[in-house]
Amino acid sequence: MDPWLSTVILGIVEGLTEFLPVSSTGHLILTGVLLGHSGDKAASYDIIIQLGAILAVAVMYRDRYLALVFPQSRQRFGGKRGLTLLFLTCLPASVVGLLGRKMIKAHLFAPLPVALALIAGAILILIVESKKTAREKYYDLDDVSPALALGIGLFQCLSLWPGFSRSASTILGGMILGARRKLAVEYSFISAVPIMIAATCYETYKSWGEFDMADLQFLAVGFVVAFFSAWIAVKWFIALVSRMTLRPFAVYRFLLALSVFLFWPK
């Protein structure tokens, strides 16, 4: 396949799936197998173009991020308190990911581990969505406590298993700990930016020598395509979670995992 078309496809896949509870990394791995886009260089490429999707959320929630630097008295999620909450959420997965980076890329970036992670995440979605709404005790960003932030961060470690989904792990973790679904989704978006920027910058630093000038053109195109497709996906997802549960995503994950077992090149 033409490399430019492959780049556009990968950018669309990254942007559309990054903030949905279906795993962008899992989708990129599976798509990469079909496109012949594989290996350490491909894995690094997949991580680096995430920056486009990250920027989309940073722009959409710019007021919230500005409040971290220029806090407003009426907002509890801002200033030092907001930064501390984000730090607590990002810390566990950052440490585990840093220590396990080589093992994860060597053993989990393949269709079978992704399929198993898709199933595990789907089961957790169905379990969490079956709980009583009376257990909810956090309703908006200003309600987020240090304990909730750290708890979500611990759940986020599940996202290091490609196919499980960072979005799914943080949203479901928040709901398990008592956050309303819409809050869990919004906090998942906002807390994604710092840890994903850190992961992307670290991956870029570690793998920069693998890329030549021609590769940088493909990275730029993937970045731009990921930005616009992520913008569309986030807008759609926010509207969706106000009207329905996450169960359709569980069904999708089961069907995708089944297709991997039946049809995907091994």
3-state secondary structure (DSSP) of residue 244: coil
Residues forming beta bridges with residue 179, ordered by sequence position = 138
Give the phi and the psi of residue 265 in degrees, each rounded to 5.
-60, 135
**Nearest one of 58, 14, 21, 10 to 166, comparing CA atoms:** 21
Note the pLDDT of residue 49.
83
Note the pLDDT of residue 132.
56
Note the pLDDT of residue 266.
57
Buried residues in 186-208 as b, exposed as e (16+ CB within 10 A): bbbbbbbbbbbbebbeebeeebe
Q: What is the rounded distance in angstroms from the CA atom of residue 169 to the CA atom of residue 126?
A: 13
Two tokens at 231? 């913008």
Give the phi and the psi of residue 114 in degrees, each rounded to 5.
-65, -45
Note the pLDDT of residue 90.
93
User: Is 136 buried (19+), middle (13-18) or exposed (0-12) by CB count in 10 A?
Assistant: middle
Note the pLDDT of residue 251.
96
Note the pLDDT of residue 101.
77
Q: Which residues of the chain fall below pLDDT 50?
A: 134
Note the pLDDT of residue 108.
84
Q: What is the rounded distance in angstroms from the CA atom of residue 252 to the CA atom of residue 242?
A: 19
Domain count, the chain: 1
Domain ranges, residue 197: 3-263
Q: pLDDT digits over 31-67, tens only? A: 888 888 766 677 777 777 888 899 999 999 998 899 8
Note the pLDDT of residue 74.
76
Q: What is the rounded distance in angstroms from the CA atom of residue 153 to the CA atom of residue 169?
A: 9
